[in-house]
Chains A and B, each alone.
Chain A
Amino acid sequence: MQFVESNSSDGVQLSMNLQRGVFIGFLPGETVTAFILRVLSLCEESMKREVQTLILNNGCVDEPDARTLVSGDTLVLSGAMPGLVGAMLRSNSPIKAMRQTLSASVYRTDPLVPESMIRLKLFNTVLTDHKDDLLKVGFYLEGDEV
């Protein structure tokens, strides 16, 4: 595992690493909302505007305040996505009925993720707008990612 806190890799590689997922620590009892506000340096209003798609362990999250992070979670943060399916996947989408199967998380955590950490993935505008925030906080790459 390699710790990264400044942009030493090229743009394409860094972008791919952040999409594939990096390991990052969370605070005891931290909710999804609290984690996002801390790590991305956002206020709640900006979070609602910028992070419109939230996926935790392959399930859409409609109530990020109500979910506390646990070791091994995989959390995806993304801007609003296009397409009918993109609209469906948005948090509290008015057409969330069309994704009933996806509203529940898969009940398994990622065994590769170290204790007290989650795998965090950034997509879309959250990736481009917040990769520097993540570099400031620092994160770990999986063994084979450089």
Chain B
Amino acid sequence: MDKILRIKMGSKPEFSVEKLGDYAGLGGRALTSKVIFSEVPPLCHAIGPENKLVIAPGMMSGSSAAISGRLSVGCKSPLTGGIKESNAGGQAAQVLARLGYAAIILEGDSPEGKLYTLVINKEGVKIVDAGKLVGLGNYATVEKLIAQYGEKVAYMSIGSAGERKLAASSIAVTDMELRPTRHCGRGGVGAVMAAKGFKAIVLDDAGCSVRKPVEPEAFKAANKEFIAGIKKHAVSGQGLPAFGTNVLANVINEAGGFPVNNFSKGQYPNVHKISGETQAELETSRGGKATHGCHRGCVIQCSGTYVDKEGNYVTKQPEYETVWAHGPNCGIDDLDAIALMDRMDDDFGLDTIEMGATIAVAMEAGLCEFGDVQGAIKLLQEVGDGTSLGRILGSGAAVAAKAFGIERAPVVKGQAMPAYDPRAIQGIGVTYATTPQGADHTAGYAIATNILKVGGFVDPLKPQGQIELSRNLQIATAAIDATGMCLFIAFPILDQPETFQAYIDLINGFFGLKMTADDVVALGKNILTWERDFNKGAGFTKEHDRLPMYFKREKLSPHDALFTVTDEELDEVFNW
């Protein structure tokens, strides 16, 4: 990974292969955010020619390090107007890293709005007319690409939502079965890919080998210890593989933090019908799979395969956020309907969180009733069809709420909140409010006691605890996002000091470094600083680090909770 591929679109598409220069030593979110901070004018229009789309595998991707295949995509977001890093699993990160690219940077704009396919292999780079792929959904696009480029390839593509440059559009990445099920979902990155003139990217690593560590013995030993740590932990070794992330539905509901009917209640009586436990039982009983990885090398395997009553493939196992967004947040308790909407989102190329949140806003506005399954499917189909209503809905919850005259838009910086109500779980509300990414549950996800201590030991019982915790978690998460490791490694790292050490040793063994936890913290801080500085340039102030006012006014049952963290406390999060 010692080069960058820069594609300049304009009247005549051109490309160049460059050395890493100032970007050396960075990967994943660190690299995407540094490029956007350094090269994109913050006041540009997100779908204008001055914006760039950066696609970067993690620092460890393409190696034999376990669970290192996350891909970061960065740009100025059409949804938030700020910086965006959106990441996904799938095979693309591993293949791109083996091809030797630390990043692809797409810049300029498409000549006459035409769409192209970018083909990258060991021999070089080709930019070809997307031809008959234009207008197709992600599933049909990938099917056609497979017919032309084969099965030993990773594909990235946009669906009809991206082509229409909708702010909720995603970029699909194919999984191990070459299905377009893994999405860089958040922030409208699909629209930016379309604006750069690309419908699809073909990544072919035939003839390339696995990236080799600088210190093979140390790397091998650390990888072994790291895998053992992941496997022996109750979350990463048992709960996640058995039930996937949707195992959270029951417990978040029980705690009263499960947003229902557009964040108007904190509990849903029929949660047992859509929970991860029920989903896994159902999948297995129908001949689907409840345990499956999103890319090769994943040793947790939190995903699965959702099949219908006849055992036919519908979609990958919908994740917790998807089940919640299209389910209880819209008053829906039907797993088959939720799986169908997940499939539609993947095919149209849409962020499932944003779409579920938007449909709930539309339901509150009276476009259909909460709980109306066919009504919800019809609204989603409008987005796929590109009707006028569909274009409003595909622009996300904030735009839809404005269009329909609804105050209750559960968004921060224009991006819809995920499946945790910030009134019940105030600590996550702090992260929703302050992350440069817009409301994002993963932004403060990585939990490592060691890192927490390095960031200044936090007394969890002090009221200031949640501010400091949110800060430290955001720092740690940014650093993990740079490695290409899946965030679910956070659990064994939290609980098992020897697994945290193995993680550091793994990075050191691969690069021949002597990195400490302090260096990890410094990297995380740098990333957040680039992101916040970009947002400042784009016009964001501390007043944008706030939750919508109704979270301070409307009580959430059963705890009658309000969001009570003060503005002054929120302003302390990045005061380091």
Contacts and interface: CB of A to CB of B under 8 A. Distances in A.
Nearest to B472: A95
A121 B250 contact: yes
B240 A82 contact: yes
Contacts, number: 168
A139 B252 CA distance: 25
A11 interface: yes
Given A82-B247, A95-B469, A98-B425, 5 more contacts: A82-B239, A86-B248, A94-B494, A96-B460, A104-B559
B300 to A, nearest CB: 9
Interface residues of B, number: 62
Contacts of A91: none
A39 interface: no
Interface of A: 10-12, 15-16, 19-20, 49-50, 52-53, 55, 58-60, 76, 78-89, 94-102, 104, 106, 121, 123-125, 127-128
Interface string B86-112: 000000000000000000000000000
Given A82-B491, A97-B461, A121 B254 contact: yes
Contact of A101 (B281, B320, B430, B561): B561
Given A82-B240, A100-B426, A101-B423, A76 B251 contact: yes
A16 B424 contact: no
A124 B243 contact: yes
A98 to B, nearest CB: 2
Nearest 3 interchain pairs by C-beta: A98-B427, A97-B465, A97-B460
A19 B558 CA distance: 19
Given A16-B273, A58-B558, A125 B234 contact: yes
B256 A12 contact: no
B270 to A, nearest CB: 9
B238 interface: yes
Contacts of B251: 53, 55, 76, 78, 81, 86, 89, 123-124
B261 interface: no
A55 B277 CA distance: 18
Given A97-B458, A97-B466, A86 B235 contact: yes
B219 interface: no
Interface of B: 233-236, 238-240, 242-243, 245, 247-248, 250-252, 254-257, 271-273, 275-278, 281-282, 285, 302, 320, 420, 423-428, 430-431, 441, 444-445, 447, 449, 452, 458, 460-462, 465-466, 469-470, 473, 488, 490-491, 494, 558-559, 561
B238 A58 contact: no
A99 B254 CA distance: 13
B239 A79 contact: yes
Contact of A123 (B247, B257, B461): B247
Nearest to A87: B447
B278 A12 contact: yes
B275 to A, nearest CB: 6
Contact of A88 (B256, B423, B425): B425
Given A121-B250, A123-B250, A11 B281 contact: yes
